Amino acid sequence: MTDDPRNDPNMVSVPFIFVGHGDPLPVQWMAEHPDYIKVPAVMVPHGTRPPPPWGDAGVDQMAAARGAGLTAEPRVPGSFVPPPARQKRMWGGQPWPKDRNGGDWPKDRWGRPTRPLWDYPPGVHAPGEGVAPGAPGSIGAEKAIRAARTALAALDQATSRVFLASDRTETGSDGTQAPARGVASRYPGAYDVAQAGQGEETGRGARQPHLTPAQQAAIVAATQHWSNSNVPYVKGGKTIQGADCSGAVYGIYREAGINIKYESTEDFRGDPQFSPVTGGPEIGDVGWYKGHVVIYGGTTATNKDVWSASLPGGPDSGPAGSPWYGKPQWYRYNCTQQKN
């Protein structure tokens, strides 16, 4: 066991979220977590599934429902009526307790109050739901760990399949060969780890993203435009009329057609749109220093160049190895599937 939570086998480091069947996709969350993998799953509530509103869920009734034109369960909120017997079974006929603030717990999709297992005080547990986590014989923590390990194994397998898929090619209607499109074409918004076989593995199923050549060319063109425009340094500015260093990175990316969200230099490291670069920088990578950000411009000059906004004169280029620049932490835009 180390202090690094990523090395803790009991920790789940892969971002995941449960989305109810039939619920809309969490597009915002997906955009902010490009490393997630969508895993089809069938979630069965603990206990007996409530019957559909047209009666007991028998085969005959389902067939009759199909005959009446109902091909799936209605997904109208509130259409499910919880059976009273289930509530009695859950809480022994006692009223649902209030939360610690004296309020009511949120209702689940069947209108029943919810209560997280981990909220129970030591030694207290809900009737019919086993022993509270932490108590002798607890199923909560151990079960959660087992479930997490199982989920991680499934994710690793899924990721491996994605990597294999990226190595394949598919034949287009015109007979040309092209790399398999991977998961992103099936799950819009997900980061395509299989994109055209690009990227190197960085362990644990994650791949280092790469800007496409078109994106790099667009960033080069935008930065040269800014460099030739004598952009004045304006604190808080984000346009070619005036910008500071964080605003210049934002403005140049936007001009290149990559609609990143603005982050100040100090906040940049927490930007989910950028991932730390594990190898050397590539054109378009953003170098972060404490108090400053730059854009990497490649090796076209005598030294590795960076573009920087600073006093005076706005964005200009300079050698990455100059005394001031030193060695920044490089970050790379990771939403290569974003529609720009």
Partner 1 sequence: MGSVLIAAFVVATFSALAASPCDGVNHSLTTERRAVLAPVIAKQEHRPIVDILESFSFGGWNIIYINTHQSDETFLFYEHDPFSSHYITEWSGAARIDEGQTIKKWAEKRAPGFPQNSPVASLGM
Name which of residues 242 to 271 contact partner 1 (CB under 8 A): 244-247, 262, 264-267
| Under rule CB under 8 A, residue 308 binds partner 1 | yes
Is 211 a binder of partner 1 (CB under 8 A)?
A: no
Token digits of residue 220 = 């080069």
For 137, residues 6+ apart whose C-beta sits below 8 A from its C-beta are 131
Name which position in 233, 253, 307, 330 contacts partner 1 (CB under 8 A): 233
Segments of the chain assigned E as strands? 169-171, 177-179, 238-239, 242-243, 274-276, 286-289, 292-298, 305-310, 314-319, 329-333
**310 contacts partner 1 (rule: CB under 8 A):** yes
Give the nearest distance from C-beta 236 to partner 1 in angstroms: 4
Amino acid type, 322:
S
CB of 244 to partner 1, least distance (A): 4
Q: What is the CA radius of gyration of the chain?
A: 27
Shortest CB 233 distance to partner 1, Å = 6
- In whole angstroms, how close is the CB of 34 to partner 1 at the nearest point? 23
Is 231 one of the binding residues for partner 1 (CB under 8 A)? no
Region binding partner 1 by CB under 8 A among candidate stretches 49-57, 103-111, 167-175, 325-333: 325-333
Q: Which is nearer to partner 1, 225 or 292 (CB)?
A: 292
Using DSSP's 3-state secondary structure scheme, residue 201 falls into strand
* 177-190 as b/e: b if 16+ CB within 10 A: eebbebbbeebebb
96 touching partner 1, by CB under 8 A: no
Are 53 and 74 a contacting pair, CB within 8 Å?
Answer: yes
Residue with smaller CB distance to partner 1, 189 or 237: 237
**Helix, strand, coil % over all residues of the chain, rounded to 5:** 25, 15, 60
> Rule CB under 8 A: is residue 326 a binding residue for partner 1?
yes
Which residue in 101, 235, 302, 339 binds partner 1 (CB under 8 A)? 235
* Greatest Cα pair distance in the chain: 80
Rounded to the nearest whole angstrom, what is the least distance from the CB of residue 112 to partner 1 in the complex?
Answer: 40
The whole-angstrom separation of Cα 95 and Cα 81 is 18
Q: 3-state secondary structure string, 164-190? A: HHHHCEEECCCCCEEECCCCCCCCCCC
Q: Is 142 in the site for partner 1 (CB under 8 A)?
A: no
Residue 212 contacts partner 1 per CB under 8 A: no
Please say which residue, 201 or 267, places its beta carbon nearer to partner 1.
267
Contacts of 33 (CB under 8 A, 6+ apart): 15, 17, 272
Q: Which of 20, 121, 324, 339 binds partner 1 (CB under 8 A)?
A: 324
Stretch that binds partner 1, among 58-66, 67-75, 186-194, 326-334 (CB under 8 A): 326-334
Considering the complex, state which of residue 103 and residue 291 has its C-beta at the smaller distance from partner 1.
291
Interaction of residue 327 with partner 1, rule CB under 8 A = yes
Binding segment (CB under 8 A) for partner 1, from list 12-20, 92-100, 107-115, 285-293: 285-293
Q: Output phi, psi for 177, to 5 deg.
A: -95, 140
Residues contributing to the site for partner 1 (CB under 8 A): 233, 235-237, 244-247, 262, 264-267, 289-292, 308-311, 322-328
